[in-house]
Amino acid sequence: MIQSAAVLPALDESDLAARVASLSLEQKVRLLTGADFWSLHPEPAAGLRRLVVSDGPAGVRGERWDERDPSANVPSPTALAATWDEELIEELGGLLASEARRKGVDVVLAPTVNLHRTPYAGRHFECFSEDPLLTARIGVSYVCGVQDGGVGATVKHFIANDSETERMTLDAHIDERTLRELYLAPFEAIIREAGVWSVMASYNAVNGEPMTESSLLRDVLQRELDFDGLVMSDWFATSSTEASARAALDLVMPGPDGPWGEALLQAVRAGKVDPATIDDKVLRVLRLAARVGALEGTTSSRPPAFDDPHIAAALRRIAAASFVLARNERALLPLDLRGLERVAVIGPNAAAARTLGGGSATVLPPYTVSPLEGLRSALQPAVQVTHSLGLQPSRRIPVAPVSCLHVPGTSEPGVELRFLDPDGTLLASEHRRGCAFKWLGSLDIAGAVSRIEVHAVLRASRPGTYAIGASGLGRYRLALDGEEVLDERLELPPGADIVEGLMTPPQTAHRVELDAGQEIGIVLTHDVRSAASGDGLLAVSFELNVALPYAGDDHEIGRAEAVAAEADIVVLVVGTTEEVESEGFDRTSLSLPGRQDELVRRVTAVNRSTIVVVNAGAPVLMPWADDVAAVLLAWFPGQEFGNALADVLLGVAEPGGRLPTTWPASEAGLPSTRPIDGVLRYDEGLSVGYRGGGRDTLFPFGHGLGYSSWEYEALGAPPRAAPGAAVRVTVELRNTGGRRSREVVQLYASRSDSGIARPVRWLVGFAAVIAEPGERATATLIVPPRAFQHWSVEHGRWALEPGTFALAAGSSSAALPMSTRITMA
């Protein structure tokens, strides 16, 4: 495993303690609740400046949610894990640290290391893997990369926040062995090996204790793992004063209001919370501040410099390294350009770049490259690239495309926002080139804004029915050419999650018929006060929506067939969107949304040389998989999507990804995300994903094809090993194909004669090799002692069952040509 090379700024603990001691109780308690949505209070008396935190796993958003302040959009975490490449992910961590510093951010709210317990999970794309070892190793690399750059990482969400349904209140019932061996393992590794500076406590409860009050914080994080960093709550997760303060929760987020503050002061004064507990929390705040250089007299290390071309090149490389070539019949890929005249790029995700999932992990990229754009720039003019939408799976009205809007009285693309006070006086206006508007914490406008108006002119590019409307919460009025056509109050259904309200809120729209070239004036008015959240924190979030005329799925699928039939090769890009995979809700079906399965069948029926690119953050069902020539799983790959895709399809880069999670063939037997009477039982225990064996699997854990072939020739392992020692295993293999290639060698253990319940097999190590055609390579895998241990519930510690373990090596959990045995005694 990577040892953190982090050059931690030397912490003078006695200096920190002196600073704590210099503060009054009031000053101390004030530091323990956020100052606003994204920052901690400054405290001049302690030399503490304002400290800024920001989401998240797919980039660093910064304090503003605004297309004018963009962020590098990196591949989604599942894609990162699919690289099985620790060095690459450490490099990415450096890029994130550089982004954080550019945006004035001290602590990144990532990585998310909850496990892929079930593919239904809404935030599956935001987590690395179903496997704790792979999650740990990718997580350690990520955190080392970020923190080596002097920026804090926050490993989240501690713990068992593996799905979204009722996430604020559910009580996950998990047996102790499963908790230790699976769900805690990545946190443990990241604390011990990467020395992470901060942990986020999740919304849910585990075995009856809400995580912001859980004994696991003190007993496991602090006492057992010697965690010296800060535990912050997930946003609005803390609901108690004394219980959470007595637990090892250090910081309530966000602020300035919340259950601590004055109530905590009273509790300390009344002797219900020990002042020493408060001091320890403040010490942890200051320690974090010292680490990120937010404390007078401290400096943090600097991130590597990443300029725009460097970012683009890195993200293109990482995305290509994450794509999993799941199937490649007739060696259709890489594409042979000889004789190729026409390539059709088809599908709902072909021209729209679906680069990220939804929720708090959202960032606003400076640009995106869609598959269509990427292939056009790689192939044209030598090869003709045609396109067809295929169908429109979403029934939601999309955010208005800026290309069809301009600011009234100008030819500037985009819209004008006007901020008005209660008397209707204009306080400020701004020109925006995006139509999704979000302010969390502050509007950054001087004066009392009570109304925001969006002014724009829509120019119809083609004749037909246009739907014009709004999404959000609160009151919306829409006027078209000066005439009010809508006045509606939009509310969330009872029990809905706050983030769902921000990301996929209710919509309203008015339909108009327009001729090609016709223009129509739009004024959308939103009353701000009604949208502010009840606890004094401002959260304004709404969209101007415009749906362009749509001829219907039947018509579009028919067109796609015609375009496909005329092409030499079809690249069919299907998938989900940030609307389907997001936060605050889980998926209820793993099928591709809309009629996409039918689209795949009909397109592949007219053109057998079809490559199906699946652009989804998490597994989807593919009832057609055995009938299509090639399947490439592309995840939510970040802003360089199209360029990376072109590189892989044309063979400029090898598809580097291996599945970090089992890809199921059906929904049968998958763990549910639905709590019963508030309780979510982890009844599958240790049998998560491939560990359970026997499930209906389409593509197994670890699977992924490169552009070469390999023969495994020898597996070397000592016949015996002493408990507690790491075991060195070597695998010799040969590149038997025709090009230079990288292979991820995986090693699994199993135990058939065990006296305790065991998974069918479990990953104990992996290593990548690169070789030229015909060349041999040796992969060296160091298996940590923990890989052979289990958690003894009886003794409350890790234990080794003496005896013989089987070891098997190969290219996936289901392709293990080499095996041997090792006796631990």
Under the criterion CB under 6 A, does residue 128 sit at the interface with ligand BGC?
no
Phi/psi-derived region of residue 280, left when phi > 0, alpha when psi is between -120 and 50, beta in every other case: alpha
Q: What's the CA gap between 413 and 406, in Å, rounded? A: 4
Residues in contact with ligand BGC, shown as a per-residue x/- string from 497 to 526 under the rule CB under 6 A: --x---------------------------
- Among 55, 171, 193, 543, the residue binding ligand BGC under the rule CB under 6 A is 55
Give ∠ CA 660-574-121 in degrees, rounded to 5. 45
Of 365, 456, 428, 360, the closest CA to residue 66 belongs to 365
**Cα distances (angstroms) measured from residue 692 to each of 11, 117, 435, 756:** 45, 11, 46, 15
> Which residue has tokens 């400096």?
299
**Please, what is the minimum distance in Å from the beta carbon of residue 109 to ligand BGC?**
4
Active-site position among 36, 131, 148, 234: 234
**Please, what is the minimum distance in Å from the beta carbon of residue 57 to ligand BGC?**
8
Select 167 or 455, whichever has its Cβ closest to ligand BGC.
167
Q: What's the CA gap between 361 and 123, in Å, rounded? A: 9
> Which residue has tokens 């795949």?
600
Select 390 or 501, whichever has its Cβ closest to ligand BGC.
501
For 558, phi then psi, to 5°, come to: -60, -45
DSSP string, 549-605: ----HHHHHHHHHHHHHT-SEEEEEEE--TTTS-SSS--S--SPSTTHHHHHHHHHH
Tell me: cis bond preceding 111? Omega within 30 of 0 counts. Answer: yes
Select 156 or 316, whichever has its Cβ closest to ligand BGC.
156
Under the criterion CB under 6 A, does residue 39 sit at the interface with ligand BGC?
no
Select 156 or 287, whichever has its Cβ closest to ligand BGC.
156
Rg of the chain over all Cα atoms, to the nearest angstrom = 27
Tell me: cis bond preceding 159? Omega within 30 of 0 counts. Answer: yes
Under the criterion CB under 6 A, does residue 204 sit at the interface with ligand BGC?
no
Under the criterion CB under 6 A, does residue 537 sit at the interface with ligand BGC?
no
**Please, what is the minimum distance in Å from the beta carbon of residue 345 to ligand BGC?**
34
Under the criterion CB under 6 A, does residue 242 sit at the interface with ligand BGC?
no
Which residues, numbered 463-502, are part of the site for ligand BGC (CB under 6 A)? 499
Select 156 or 658, whichever has its Cβ closest to ligand BGC.
156
**Cα distances (angstroms) measured from residue 644 to each of 224, 310, 528, 611:** 43, 15, 41, 15
Under the criterion CB under 6 A, does residue 138 sit at the interface with ligand BGC?
no
- Give the 3-state secondary structure of residue 261: helix
Select 473 or 546, whichever has its Cβ closest to ligand BGC.
473
Under the criterion CB under 6 A, does residue 156 sit at the interface with ligand BGC?
yes
Strand order in the sheet with 209-210: 209-210, 205-206, 171-173, 679-681
Select 37 or 663, whichever has its Cβ closest to ligand BGC.
37
- Give the 3-state secondary structure of residue 293: coil
Under the criterion CB under 6 A, does residue 61 sit at the interface with ligand BGC?
no
* DSSP label of 73: -
- Among 65, 128, 158, 235, the residue binding ligand BGC under the rule CB under 6 A is 235
User: 234 an active-site residue?
Assistant: yes
**Please, what is the minimum distance in Å from the beta carbon of residue 497 to ligand BGC?**
8
H, E, C per residue of 453-466: EEEEEEECCCCEEE
Of 442, 508, 430, the closest CA to residue 473 belongs to 508
**Please, what is the minimum distance in Å from the beta carbon of residue 499 to ligand BGC?**
5
Half-sphere exposure of 605 toward its Cβ, with a 13 Å CA cutoff?
12
Cβ(357)–Cβ(126) below 8 Å = yes
Under the criterion CB under 6 A, does residue 813 sit at the interface with ligand BGC?
no
- Among 360, 392, 639, 708, the residue binding ligand BGC under the rule CB under 6 A is 360
Angle between helices 13-21 and 275-292 (to 10 degrees): 130
Residues in contact with ligand BGC, shown as a per-residue x/- string from 285 to 324 under the rule CB under 6 A: ----------------------------------------
- Among 213, 234, 242, 647, the residue binding ligand BGC under the rule CB under 6 A is 234
**CB-based closest residue to ligand BGC:** 360
**Please, what is the minimum distance in Å from the beta carbon of residue 150 to ligand BGC?**
20
Select 500 or 743, whichever has its Cβ closest to ligand BGC.
500
Under the criterion CB under 6 A, does residue 267 sit at the interface with ligand BGC?
no
Select 360 or 735, whichever has its Cβ closest to ligand BGC.
360
Give ∠ CA 223-224-228 in degrees, rounded to 5. 55
For 653, phi then psi, to 5°, come to: -125, 150
**Please, what is the minimum distance in Å from the beta carbon of residue 583 to ligand BGC?**
6
- Among 109, 273, 633, 767, the residue binding ligand BGC under the rule CB under 6 A is 109
**Please, what is the minimum distance in Å from the beta carbon of residue 204 to ligand BGC?**
11
Under the criterion CB under 6 A, does residue 56 sit at the interface with ligand BGC?
yes
**Please, what is the minimum distance in Å from the beta carbon of residue 387 to ligand BGC?**
36
Q: Applying CB under 6 A, what is the total number of residues that bind ligand BGC?
A: 8
**Please, what is the minimum distance in Å from the beta carbon of residue 253 to ligand BGC?**
7
Select 499 or 634, whichever has its Cβ closest to ligand BGC.
499
Residues 6+ apart with CB under 8 A from 102: none
Under the criterion CB under 6 A, does residue 553 sit at the interface with ligand BGC?
no
Residue ranges that bind ligand BGC, judged by CB under 6 A: 55-56, 109, 156, 234-235, 360, 499
Which residues are tagged catalytic? 234
